[in-house]
Amino acid sequence: MSCSSSSGSEEEEEGVDSYRKGGYHAVRVGDSFNGGRYITQRKLGWGQFSTVWLAYDTRSASYVALKIQKSAPQFAQAALHEIEVLSAIAEGDPSTSKCVVRLVDQFKHTGPNGQHLCMVLEFLGDSLLRLTKYKRYKGLELNKVREICKCILIGLDYLHRELGIIHTDLKPENILLVSTIDPAKDPIRSGRAPILEKPKGYPNGGVTMNFIEKKLKRRARRAVVGISERRASVGGIGGNPMVERCLNGIDMRCKVVDFGNACWADKQFTEEIQTRQYRAPEVILRSGYSFSVDMWSFACIAFELATGEMMFTPKCGQGFDEDEDHLALMMELLGKMPRKIAIGGAQSKDYFDRHGDLKRIRRLKYCPLDRFLVDKFKFSDTDAREFAEFLTPLLDFAPEKRPTAQQCLQHPWLNTRNLIQEEVKSESSLGKVEVGMSKLQIKVGK
């Protein structure tokens, strides 16, 4: 949520009640920060700790993302930690080639609700979640998935091997394209001039009115979308079936963002890490974690990009909770968890018996990953086999057996296009040799 053109929740705003002492700072278009250097252009998104704004940097004549933290002490402490991590990232990557978001500046801003720590980050585009939605959850072409995976792995390799940082919350929302899907939302490509002063007639302190107007507009948009979709589904007047969206012309390069929960491998703060659907088994079982938790999350993201659906969506059931269902879903796709791992965590007794079997979910329906890709998502046998060969090692129940980001970057699946080109060249060369040989045989025959 750090610096996206579309971050934050689409359905809800942060709430007027959060604009109070210790809470958010009320921002308006045209407000200036840090001695007039940054001028706000529009809101990009929000999170539990902060709001994020597109701002114009008058010193560098460029656009940036301005992240304004809530002012209460606990939020300020979280911001200081994130600044520390981002500073280390920026210091080791002066060329900004490591596929990780860059911290531009940081400062304090005093407002009616207290003192707010502010981070200035490079402006990036849409999240991978938005990209998946743009494709209407149909999945991306595998070559596009490869491009994105390479960028994420370059970022993870840098974080893990060079800095010793674990992200701990890798998910599609926390990976942003370097530019927007829609050029009109890009402040440079859209060709709009930057706002350098407050627009005339802008309401003073009109935060509440702003929220009401936005809610009404959202309801109207949802109503229009609902009508359009119903017409399309029944083939009514003007109802065209949804056309497959093409990604040609959209830059697939991306960067890892949001380091609010990141930690150094030798200085971990909490055992409760990762968003549910991307959580590794060792985190559920509380058996300790390291860089390999990010690799598990990466595999879940790659699957989601290729299929349009999350790999694991656990739910509570009769007699079992989300965690046990999550473990069951993992085993149905990846095979039975080795007993030593199943019973080796601080929370293992909550889910497994002494034999390494789940206590409450007894009947598992096993389906290997390659078969699952063919049966449910209609992958070709070859694509399914090759993709599964790339993902399966990353989903090993033994964390120490998962390949590193550096090792993944060497995997044949990521370089399939190059291999195909080499095969074509080889076949072409072989054809020339065979033609030459046939000519030689003719000459000998004379």
Residue 427 in domain = no
User: Which residue ranges in the chain fall short of pLDDT 50?
Assistant: 1-11, 205-206, 208-209, 212, 228-239, 418-427, 429-430, 433-446
Same domain, 314 and 356: yes
Is 350 considered catalytic here?
Answer: no
Instruction: Examine the domain organization and report whether 185 and 147 are in the same domain.
Output: yes
Q: Are residues 341 and 409 in the same domain?
A: yes
Q: Residue 219 has what pLDDT?
A: 62
Q: How many CA atoms lie within 13 A of 299 on its CB side?
A: 25
The binding site for ATP consists of 67
Is 381 in the same domain as 404?
A: yes
What is the residue type of 263?
C
For residue 245, tell me if it sits in a domain: no
pLDDT tens digits for range 155-166: 999 999 999 999
Q: Is residue 118 part of a domain?
A: yes
Token pair recorded at residue 272: 């409760």
Does residue 226 form part of some domain? no
**Do 183 and 43 share a structural domain?**
no
What is the extent of the structural domain holding 28?
Answer: 21-123
236-246 per-position pLDDT tens digit: 444 455 677 88
> CA-to-CA distance for 185 and 422, rounded, in angstroms?
39
- Residues 384, 293 share a domain: yes
Question: Considering 57, 126, 157, 169, which one is annotated as catalytic?
Answer: 169
44-81 burial: b if 16+ Cβ within 10 Å, else e: bbbbebbbbbbbbbeeeeebbbbbbbbbbeebbebbeb
| Domain membership flag for residue 210 | no
Do residues 30 and 158 both lie within one domain? no
Supply the pLDDT for residue 430. Answer: 47
139 and 154 assigned to the same domain:
yes
pLDDT value, residue 186: 93
Residues 85 and 178 in one domain: no
Q: Are residues 150 and 88 in the same domain?
A: no
Q: Could you tell me if 67 and 133 are in contact, meaning their C-beta atoms sit under 8 angstroms apart? A: no
- pLDDT value of residue 237: 43
Q: What CATH number is given to the structural domain containing 132? A: 1.10.510.10
Nearest-angstrom CA–CA distance, 163 and 92: 8
Q: What is the CATH number of the domain that holds 87?
A: 3.30.200.20
Count how many domains the chain has. 2
Q: Exposure of 321 by Cβ count < 10 A (0-12 exposed, 13-18 middle, 19+ buried)?
A: middle
User: Based on the domain organization, do 32 and 167 belong to the same domain?
Assistant: no
Indicate the annotated binding residues: 67
Query: 343 and 291, same structural domain?
Result: yes
pLDDT in the model for residue 233 = 43
Exposure class string for 144-174: b at 16+ Cβ within 10 A, else e: bbbbbbbbbbbbbbbbbeebebbbbbbbbbb
